[in-house]
Amino acid sequence: MKTKITVLTLCAMLFALCSSAAAQQPGKIPWIGYLAGAGSGPSPSFIQGLGDLGYVEGKNIGIVFRTSESRSERYPDLAAELVRLKVDVIVADGSNAALAAKKTTSSVPIVMASSTDPVGAGLVASIARPDGNVTGLTSLTEELGGKQLELLKEIVVGLNRVAILGPTGPATDIFLKETEPTARGLGVKIIPLVFRGPEDFADAFRSATKERANGLIDRIGPAVSSADRKRVVELTVKNRLPTISGFASWADNGGLLTYGPDRNFMYHRAATYVDKILKGAKPADLPVEQPKKFEFIVNLKTAKQIGLTIPPNVLARADKVIK
């Protein structure tokens, strides 16, 4: 009898201890799946944005990072993996990443950290009412390509053939289509240079030379590594091809001109979308945000290397001049 009582007492004590331990376990933290084309982790500006909202990785938020390593064909498998891991929200860095995620799931919320014309690409129904599981930010206004062409025209005497270098996919197709009207007005022929991966860059520049391009717009986007981006910069300088990009890192890495949305601002803003969704908001009710801040950067060192003189009136409009 004593033995039976002792066993029951021990069981009761163990149950109480287990219940106490369970009560002390922290609640389930939300998980973010971050899908990018390159890099070793999410954008530092995105992480800072989360921090400003009170999120600390490993404490009250978890992040699973996946990169296609500059191979867009890998996006579908990576998106499927994030869905299998049951993340609470997917952050997609770029249109191709967002499209792969959207095709993979209609239930997991998707936040575009950057995208090119999400309406034209079929990611959302409209900017004001996304009407689905995708929302976030777009890096493109219809005037962006035209504005970049106009800046090239101001600094390149006789500019008449401009190549546009971008990855395969709807984002590049849309940019080409939206830039064409301005090109016709300026008397400039557009030369598409589409690539599947970094191994195509050398061939793309050979095509640019063959087509007698005397200007280039860089649209390689966030889907390539910093090393590959720098390689493209070096090819533009080697070929003495005046080039403009929408990424600030372009000019910082030796590229000639940058004109485009402030990407760090966009990544920081993407965190606010994640926060709203984790607190119960539906992507369909969150309007897509268009660019609010733009940067114009001129690299005079590169201009000198390729034998180009930047007019004073263009320099006066620059937010930053690298000397």
- CA distance linking residue 10 with residue 56, whole number of Å: 40
Q: Which of 99-113, 142-156, 173-187 shows the highest mean pLDDT? A: 99-113
Fold of 144-261+294-322: Rossmann fold (3.40.50)
Is residue 188's pLDDT more than 60?
A: yes
Q: What is the pLDDT of residue 293?
A: 84
Query: Average pLDDT, stretch 168-172?
Result: 80
Q: What is the pLDDT of residue 5?
A: 42
Q: What is the pLDDT of residue 17?
A: 38
Is residue 203's pLDDT more than 60?
A: yes
Enter the CATH code of domain 31-140+263-285: 3.40.50.2300
What is the rounded average pLDDT for all residues in the chain?
89
Q: Which residue has the higher pLDDT, 70 or 164?
A: 164
Is residue 2's pLDDT more than 60?
A: no
Other CB atoms within a 10 A radius of the CB of residue 20 amount to 9
Query: Could you please report the per-residue DSSP string of 135-203?
Result: EEB----TTHHHHHHHHHHHHSTT--EEEEEEESSHHHHHHHHHHHHHHHHHT-EEEEEEESSGGGHHH
pLDDT band of 247, cuts 50, 70, 90: confident
Q: What is the pLDDT of residues 78-137, one digit of tens each?
A: 999 999 999 999 999 988 899 999 999 999 999 999 887 798 889 999 999 999 999 999
Q: What is the pLDDT of residues 302-321, one digit of tens each?
A: 999 999 999 999 999 999 99
Query: Average pLDDT, stretch 2-10?
Result: 42
Is residue 170's pLDDT more than 90?
A: no
Query: Average pLDDT, stretch 137-147?
Result: 84
Q: What is the pLDDT of residues 249-265, one digit of tens each?
A: 889 889 999 999 888 89
| Distances from the Cα of 145 to the Cα of 56, 174, 175, 185, 242, angstroms | 38, 10, 7, 13, 15
Give the predicted TM-score (pTM) of the model. 0.75
Order of strands across the sheet with 134-136? 62-67, 31-36, 89-93, 110-114, 134-136
3-class state of residue 294 by DSSP: strand
- CA triplet 94, 99, 105: central angle to 5 degrees? 125
Q: Where in the chain is the domain with CATH 3.40.50.2300?
A: 31-140+263-285, 144-261+294-322
Name the one residue in this structure whose structure tokens are 């950067």.
297
Q: What is the pLDDT of residue 292?
A: 82
Query: Average pLDDT, stretch 169-187?
Result: 90
Is residue 18's pLDDT more than 50?
A: no
pLDDT band of 23, cuts 50, 70, 90: very low
pLDDT band of 24, cuts 50, 70, 90: very low
